[in-house]
Chain A
Amino acid sequence: MTESEQNSPTPQDGAPAAAGDFLTSAKPAAASVAVIPRDAPPKRPRRKRQWGKWSSRVVLALLFLLGFFLSVVPAGRAVMRGALLLPSVLSATQPGVLIAAGEPFTHTTRTITSQAGQVFLDVYAPVGAPPPIPGSREALVMIPGVGDNRGDPQLINLSEALARVGVVVVNMTTPQLIGFEVEPAEEDSVIQAFNFAARLPGVNPHGIGIVGFSGGSVLACLAAADARIRDQVNFIVTFGALYNVTDVIRDFGLRYVVADGQKVPFNPYPDPIEVMANLVAGTLPPNEGQTLIDSLPPYSDPLPDPESALPAPGAAAAYHLLAGDEATPAQVEQNLAALSPTLKQLLDALSPSRVLAQIHCPLYLLHDHNDRYIPFTESRDFDAALTRLGYPHEFAEFGIFHHTEISSGFGLGPLLGDGSKLYRILTGVLSASS
């Protein structure tokens, strides 16, 4: 039966029906008398078949286009990777689909050296050579902030999920970062980790991005602005970034931030206060530095007389800013002005705002809207500066994260809203070597 035969009317359609089915006459059809079937057969089955034929063809065409887009078109491959990665990020686990369809990977640890000392690397890499198309792999150098986060389940989950979607992940930390210290000299550690990633087999040396979480975002920006690698960095992702460290100290002092013309309370957690205290302490005589660190709330009783206990220039002012005990705008500005020139220089040296003009790659800025480590206004300022300069970038604020980690118990609305923003950024990041 040919296609046209299949489409021809069938006995059920009513054409060559039995004689008894007709109201009148057994005259041939050629006669002028109309033959009216007694039980006029319904037309619907044929229409249904036609509808079924075309709807099936449309479904097949859509499946073809979908499959072709997701596998052959580079943007489609990024979409596919993002779609597989997103559930893993949102659920902080690895869905079975990703485990079944993703690539096997290995986890190795390495220690390299930089001008600042040792750099500890955790490498999550897909097994085997990269596929012929595109012929190389993308790599991410991730700086997971201060403290020892190498065993953090969410960091491990993210690294493994990225490796499963074909991305080489190099997580880096240093003894200073583990000890809650962020120093400009650590920039070289990031550059050494970047160069290490570039030398890994199968990695596209121009397809490497730097991801900085929290305090790591400072180092990500400083390294990406460095002349040694700035034309090689494919993109930067900052999550919970600082833009101007002096502004962050100001926010710590005020205990609020101004957003959309309104005061929003900002009560920092002890960890960021400790990082700032370590930063300040490095510019003070050792005994005073230790006094500052040991006397900051909430873990210690506040100093009864900071001016006597911290006589070095600017030390007491720094104490008041971090302790938040002189929180009027005038007092905060006065304390900021009283900081030592060395500390002011250090704060400036650590600020991504200083090196913005030297960054040559797109940036993705992410921030928790309720962040109590780094105020979200920092990423807003970053975004505004990039917009003014006309730099390619994307900025997204989230409500489903707790600083940089996914929180639990959020509803469907935030999940869909934030999930779509996160998906857009993941797709952008993953298109580097799709």
Chain B
Amino acid sequence: MFLLSLLWLALGVAIGALALPARLRPASWGRQGWLMLLGLGALAALLGGWLGTLLLGKLFGTPAALWVAVLAVFLPWLVERLRSGHAPP
């Protein structure tokens, strides 16, 4: 599980990195926002991986980590978007 946890962390960082060119970084996070996005992706992937393993089995931890991480990097952008009165695209 240690290796899988590392894999999920790496996966989360990659998804966070992909969220940067996707402009999903909330403006209110300031200059260090990019780092927070990477951290959020990694944390969410780790959480998603473990949750997926506990609920669905070890085999499904990785796909669960994938979609939970994507959801996690998307949500802050969506929340800020809604707060600022913009409708999501």
A, B bound: yes
Contact of B64 among A6, A67, A81, A130 (CB under 8 A): A67
Interface residues of B, count at CB 8 A: 35
Chain A contacts for B62, CB-based, 8 A: 101
Q: In the complex the two chains form, what is the Cα distance from A72 to B71 in whole Å? A: 14
Q: In the complex the two chains form, what is the Cα distance from A196 to B29 in whole Å? A: 59
Q: Which of A6, A53, A67, A132 has the most CB of B within 10 A?
A: A67
Q: Chain B 63-86, CB within 8 Å of chain A: the 1/0 string?
A: 111111011011001000100101
Contacts A5-B27, A63-B66, A67-B70 hold; do A56 and B59 have CB atoms under 8 A apart?
no
Q: Name the distance in Å between B28's Cβ and chain A's nearest Cβ.
A: 8
Docked-complex contact B4 and A56, CB < 8 angstroms: no
Contacts A64-B71, A131-B55 hold; do A80 and B18 have CB atoms under 8 A apart?
no
Task: Write the chain B residue with the least CB distance to A76.
Answer: B63
Docked-complex contact A70 and B63, CB < 8 angstroms: yes
Docked-complex contact B59 and A3, CB < 8 angstroms: no
Q: In the complex the two chains form, what is the Cα distance from A5 to B20 in whole Å? A: 15
Task: Write the chain B residue with the least CB distance to A53.
Answer: B23
Q: In the complex the two chains form, what is the Cα distance from A70 to B68 in whole Å? A: 12
Q: Name the distance in Å between A117's Cβ and chain B's nearest Cβ.
A: 37
Docked-complex contact B64 and A71, CB < 8 angstroms: yes
**A66 at the B interface (CB under 8 A):** yes
**A272 at the B interface (CB under 8 A):** no
Q: Is the interface of B mostly helix, strand, loop or mixed?
A: helix
**A60 at the B interface (CB under 8 A):** yes
Q: In the complex the two chains form, what is the Cα distance from A1 to B27 in whole Å? A: 5
Chain A contacts for B52, CB-based, 8 A: 71
**A26 at the B interface (CB under 8 A):** no
Chain B contacts for A64, CB-based, 8 A: 66-67, 70-71, 74
Contacts A2-B84, A101-B58, A131-B55 hold; do A67 and B63 have CB atoms under 8 A apart?
yes
Task: Write the chain A residue with the least CB distance to B53.
Answer: A131
Task: Write the chain A residue with the least CB distance to B1.
Answer: A100
Q: In the complex the two chains form, what is the Cα distance from A1 to B29 in whole Å? A: 9
Q: Name the distance in Å between A259's Cβ and chain B's nearest Cβ.
A: 40
Docked-complex contact A56 and B27, CB < 8 angstroms: no
Docked-complex contact B65 and A67, CB < 8 angstroms: yes
Docked-complex contact A60 and B66, CB < 8 angstroms: no
**A84 at the B interface (CB under 8 A):** yes
Q: In the complex the two chains form, what is the Cα distance from A245 to B62 in whole Å? A: 47
Q: In the complex the two chains form, what is the Cα distance from A65 to B77 in whole Å? A: 19
**B87 at the A interface (CB under 8 A):** no
B19-76 interface with A by 8 A CB criterion: 19-24, 27, 52, 54-68, 70-71, 73-74
Chain A contacts for B84, CB-based, 8 A: 2
- A residues sitting closer than 8 Å to B (CB atoms) are 1-3, 5-7, 49, 52-53, 56-57, 59-61, 63-72, 76-77, 80-81, 84, 100-103, 130-133, 165-166
- A-B CB proximity, top 8 nearest: A67-B66, A67-B67, A56-B22, A70-B63, A71-B63, A64-B70, A131-B57, A2-B27
Query: 14 additional contacts, CB 8 Å, given A64-B70, A131-B57?
Result: A2-B84, A3-B86, A6-B23, A53-B21, A60-B70, A60-B74, A63-B67, A67-B63, A68-B63, A71-B63, A76-B63, A80-B60, A103-B57, A132-B54
